[in-house]
Structure 1
Amino acid sequence: MSGIVGILFTDESKPLRQMLNEISKMAYKVEHRGPDDSGFWSDGKVALGIQRQSIIDSYEGNQPLSNESGSNWIVFDGEIYNYKEIRRHLEFKNHRFKTQSDTEVIVHLYEEYGSASIYMLRGMFSFAIWDCEKQLLFAARDHFGIKPFYYFHNEEKFVFASEIKSILTVDGINTGLKYHSLYNYLSFQCLPQQDTMFEGINKLNPGHTLTVHCGRVTLNTYWNPMFEPYDKPIDVYIEEIHSRLSDSVKHHMLRDVSIGGYLSSEIESTALAAYMSMTKPIKTFSVGYEGGNTDSQQVSNIARQLGTQHFSKTIDMKDYFSTVPAAIWHLDEPIGDPTAISLFLSAELAKGHVNVVLSGEGANELFGGFGVYKEPSTLRYISWLPISFKKHFNKAIKAVPYNFYGKNYLRKGTTPLAERFFGNGELVSDDMKRYLVHSNYFESTISSLTKPFYDQTEHLDDVTRMQYIDMNLILPGNRLNQIDKLSMAHSLEIRLPYLDKEVFEIASMIPVNYRISKGMTKYVLRKAMKNVVPGSIDRPQLEDQVPLSQWLKTNQIHSMLDQIRDSGIHPFLNMDEIEHIMLKHKNNQGDYSRMIWLLYNFALWHKMYMVDLPKS
């Protein structure tokens, strides 16, 4: 794995020493992503740099790397799982290789096919290629957005990096808070799509390429994770899931690597550990919370049945909150999901034993695993009502000033899906944001981001549309962003076998009644894993939750309030309302723990990046 950086000046060349100084400063900020090696190349107009961790071809895969003629130069972060097949194809076309690396395969593939080369890649990746002959920069990000790619562009230069902190080191880049990103963060508990918290800095979206030529930046979509259910017997899907997931795990277990797996009582991580154990003895890792609802005993039993060497850690309140500042620094942005701290501490635990970990991210989005996906089924008793009736009835329900049994059910059942589901991460309603965000920073509605995805899926059922929203907005913006950066904080590589385009191909075809059936989520995945995982796949499972609500009723909340007051966020957030929410939670007048967490993390991030960093 690697941290990649680059600068392209769009007007004129700069002194070589200046270019190399800039690129080395950028690379130093992501040294944790690649502590084994660093490399730099520049021709005066463009400079490429890398901090590299050796996984494959540790002696010959140094970067930046070029083709034989030196006409194309690449920096690459990720793994290409079908690189050997592509290499054989290119050798047949008389390409000659000097290393055994997947990086060199990409640069030769580009030499042969140009931008169309992206369609042949299977893996997780972000890379940039400088085409010397065309004076063109070509960059790409993988299908699901596992690997990050950020960029800044103005009339003078184009700058890219694996992490935002590298871009902030470049002379002349003075950025501030992007205000509508604060609104999106409160809406989604993450920053979906291209936005970041920094004005002028964007993400390259998953499944996209980027070209810079003559100072112009062009974005292109090469892949869209669209679901197209197709009615086949369930046994066909059971066999295909087993075959493709087994193949994906094999491709993700590359040679000569110390490898392990994250383990929980959920079917997806248990299945991965079972497949891995069929190949060789492995180590597994899990964390739990002191005082929380934990699946630790179930996980220990699973590990024992699989025969893995298992390592676990219990996180207490002190461990948890002392980790938050470091996690925010590595993420470059505030942490919306409280379980992100689990990822940071899990990676720290695993890095003491292995260099690579397989994890089950993506299974819920692909196979229908979130509990909220059962909602359309529970609402079926009133969903058949005429649209005009539901509209008037919904208005009448909202006008009732008090709560009654069934009010929330009736409200949801008479609200169109596109007006009630904004992703599995949605926490703060527009009405609540009107109290929290000062009016001059308030955006219109949350639906402005979700509407294009609902428009594309009008032909699909409600569950599938919900999955599509999560695949495009919440998964890359939240969990994948966290698991990459918080693992690389410890120089640990994470691989995600469910987020393989071959696995998605079959998952996208599964009918909704195979995904959600008999009151069970991920139904067909459970059936497919029946003879793979130990014991019964229908065993009850505990959700390993952060006891945040409980912790925020201790004196910890007073420390958090002091930090919020000192963060400088009062110009755009209502401090009186924040203090009121925190007091209500402390006094058991409602559970506001997740909202407090969002606000606290934004405050810490703002102090770190908007107040303290510009002074340093």
Structure 2
Amino acid sequence: MFAGIMMLNSQRPITSEHKKALSHNLSRQPNEEITELDLEQAYMVRAKVGALTSYDGVLNNKPGSVSLIAGEPLGPAGNVSADHELIHEDLTHGSYTKIGSCRGVFCGASYQNEGEKQILQLFSDKLGVRPLYYWCNEEMVVFATALRVLEALPFVPKVRDDTGVAETIAFGYPLAERTQYLGINVLREAEIANFSSSGNSKTCYWHWDQVPTQEMSNTDAAKKAYEVFTDAINIRRHGDEKVGAFLSGGMDSRAIVAVLNASGASVQSINFSPDGSQDQALARAYAEQTGIPFLSAPRALNPKDGFRLALTRFVRDCIDRGDIKAERPNSFWSGDGGSVGLGNVHLDDKLLAILRSGDRRSAIQHFFRINRIGFPYRLLKPKSRDTVAERLYSGIENELNRHECADPAQAMFLFLMTNDQRRHLYDVYEDLDLHRLEYQLPFFDSKFMELICGLSVDYRNNHRFYTDWLSVFPASTRMVPWQTYPGHVECPLPTPDNLTYQWDPTPTQNLTAKVFSRISSGFEALGLALDPADLGPVGRSRLLALAGVQLLGIEDYSYAVRAASLYRLG
């Protein structure tokens, strides 16, 4: 974790208040050891989690200059510190061959003092999986690896970005570089943001739409993908003999555990699924069939604080109790990125055909339909509804236009990878100071993803390629059934009866829980309606009506209440 500030105006010093605010808000751990780097026109703070590596992430190889890095670049040098030096050299010389060959998940900030000119360069990994937020005006640039740090700084203005909020409500995340605040942005994929007194600029050092098509048979593609995926796991494993890994009933985590097991690692698996679910039962069956230790903690269908937070608490408890017998217990293997990256989840064959016809508006409408993307428009003032709807369409359209793909259907896949998947783990990194967990993410390995991007998007659709890929794994991988997505290639093995399916309609709550939930949501809506804070396009009269409906238990509009709460920032 790190944060910092650089003055663009040499006449303005960094005040002690600025420094104190940055240092105080970097971590919420009361005894966190903070490294301070106080330079002429810049001030940076760093806290070391140490889950991935012992390297402190600080490079001081020139007086008055410093570079920080978080995560693992997995570059040509073979270790984090040496890769950090290579990346810094790239940035210094404006040549991006070294950073372009990095396969890992990382971000960083490099400050160089060139006498009368100071330069700050912020950089991200090829998919932008590890976030780095920034805000700047004419006088300063402020940056941090967690949005909460910038939210806490009194000298960084927090003004609601209505487009970012609307996108968060509809998609679960803002698109592009946006956050929910105007002027506070996050680095995009493979981006280098340059700041100096002479001006600011951005550079993209890698272009996913320029990945060439792979000319190989389906069999060869599956074998090559297995080879590269195995390598992606081995370079992250660093020879660890004991590792901890998530294991669900699906394909992604099983693929990772299968390769780890075949590579000779002793795997401690963890499952966090509801009792009686396919996700839990099939994971346990696979662990028993392969002789892998299995820990399971049944969870509620919809944890109060969200799935990610509940999951990290469970893993943290397991580690603290000593249940995870691993050399790096805080470094956990996760299948994030697999289903979208290899299985083309959120796409279907009809969508690909519409994209190829050139009718992007219809393609976006179909994308909304198949993914059940909606928005509580009735909550808004009538004059704002069309504006919000247009923002949602334009946001996706602008993202599709960024990708100049030879196959127009590939653009929607890249939209998902550089938005949905890029933001997939932002909540994990936001609370890194508290849970101290780092995920090993081989599905986000850039060399592996480059190979996948070169395959036909039609072949990848509906898990067609994924199923062929699984056929080259050790036979034990396919001896137990796995959970599959609706409408995608089905598992050839029969699934045991009487198990709940992840994509079945959510079971009805008992009457007491339902009434309590609606009443709580009603009071929240009432509080929002009576709060003088600006709610943007949300109509207060409609919010009051919504409160009444909730309190009377007539209908459940809690999703609309949650949407209204996002418009109230601060």
TM-score, normalising length: structure 2: 0.81
Distance 1:300 1:166, change over 3 A: same
Q: Find 2:522's aligned residue among 557, 561, 573.
A: 561
What secondary structure does 2:435 align onto? coil
How far apart in 1 are the matches of 2:560 and 2:239?
41
% same residue: 15
Tell me if 1:482 matches 2:427: yes
How far apart in 2 are the matches of 1:46 and 1:240?
46
Q: Show the counterpart of 1:156.
A: 139
How far apart in 1 are the matches of 2:504 and 2:157?
37
Distance 1:555 1:606, change over 3 A: same
Tell me if 1:65 matches 2:11: no
Q: Show the counterpart of 1:470.
A: 416
Distance 1:285 1:423, change over 3 A: farther
Moved more, 300-309 or 540-549: 540-549
Cα deviation 1:446-497 (Å, max 9, x = unaligned): 22122234344574264x44322211222223x2323433565411011210
Q: Find 2:6's aligned residue among 5, 8, 16.
A: 8
Query: Which stretches in structure 1 are left out of the alignment for 5+ residues?
Result: 88-99, 325-338, 392-413, 611-616
Deviation at 1:176, TM superposition (A): 2.4
Cα deviation 1:40-74 (Å, max 9, x = unaligned): 1122311111111124663xx3454311x335311
Q: Show the counterpart of 1:123.
A: 104
Pairing 1:244-323 to 2, within 5 Å after superposition: 244-254=228-238, 259-277=243-261, 278-289=263-274, 293-316=277-300, 320-321=303-304, 323=305
Contact 2:521 2:561 in 1 (8 A): no
Letter in 2 for 1:210: A
Contact 1:66 1:73 in 2 (8 A): yes
Tell me if 1:498 matches 2:443: yes
Cα deviation 1:182-210 (Å, max 9, x = unaligned): 22222322112111112221111122110
Q: Show the counterpart of 1:613.
A: none
Tell me if 1:600 matches 2:562: yes
Tell me if 1:550 matches 2:508: yes
Contact 2:132 2:144 in 1 (8 A): yes
Contact 2:133 2:186 in 1 (8 A): yes
Q: Find 1:358's aligned residue among 329, 333, 339.
A: 333
Deviation at 1:171, TM superposition (A): 4.2
Contact 2:290 2:476 in 1 (8 A): no
Contact 1:23 1:40 in 2 (8 A): no
Q: Find 1:572's aligned residue among 537, 540, 552.
A: 537
Distance 1:532 1:556, change over 3 A: same
Distance 1:570 1:516, change over 3 A: closer
Query: Which stretches in structure 2 are left out of the alignment for 5+ residues?
Result: 482-490
How far apart in 2 are the matches of 1:105 and 1:52?
21
Q: Show the counterpart of 2:222.
A: 238
Pairing 1:101-140 to 2, within 5 Å after superposition: 102-108=83-89, 110-111=91-92, 117-133=98-114, 134-140=117-123
Distance 1:424 1:13, change over 3 A: farther
Contact 1:515 1:524 in 2 (8 A): no
How far apart in 1 are the matches of 2:370 and 2:110?
36
Computed over aligned residues only, the root mean square deviation of the Cα atoms, in angstroms, reads 3.9
Contact 1:39 1:49 in 2 (8 A): yes
How far apart in 2 are the matches of 1:485 and 1:351?
20
How far apart in 2 are the matches of 1:350 and 1:262?
12
Contact 2:128 2:189 in 1 (8 A): yes
How far apart in 2 are the matches of 1:460 and 1:47?
46
How far apart in 1 are the matches of 2:551 and 2:286?
38
Letter in 2 for 1:361: D
Cα deviation 1:412-465 (Å, max 9, x = unaligned): xx9832443259866215xx5265356358433422122234344574264x44
How far apart in 1 are the matches of 2:461 and 2:104?
28
Tell me if 1:54 matches 2:16: no
Deviation at 1:151, TM superposition (A): 0.6
Tell me if 1:449 matches 2:395: yes
How far apart in 2 are the matches of 1:38 and 1:424?
47
What secondary structure does 1:289 align onto? coil
Tell me if 1:529 matches 2:494: no
What secondary structure does 1:275 align onto? helix
Contact 1:288 1:544 in 2 (8 A): no
Pairing 1:405-484 to 2, within 5 Å after superposition: 416-421=362-367, 427-429=373-375, 432-433=376-377, 435-436=379-380, 439-440=383-384, 442-443=387-388, 444-455=390-401, 456=403, 459-460=406-407, 462=409, 464-477=410-423, 479-484=424-429
Contact 1:422 1:446 in 2 (8 A): no
Deviation at 1:263, TM superposition (A): 1.1
What secondary structure does 1:217 align onto? strand
Deviation at 1:499, TM superposition (A): 0.6
Deviation at 1:295, TM superposition (A): 1.9
Moved more, 416-425 or 440-449: 416-425
Cα deviation 1:361-384 (Å, max 9, x = unaligned): 1112221342x433528x98xx89
The number of aligned residues is 535
Moved more, 251-260 or 49-58: 251-260
Q: Show the counterpart of 1:213.
A: 196
How far apart in 1 are the matches of 2:551 and 2:218?
50
Distance 1:295 1:585, change over 3 A: farther
What secondary structure does 1:284 align onto? strand
Q: Find 1:22's aligned residue among 13, 18, 24.
A: 18
What secondary structure does 2:35 align onto? strand
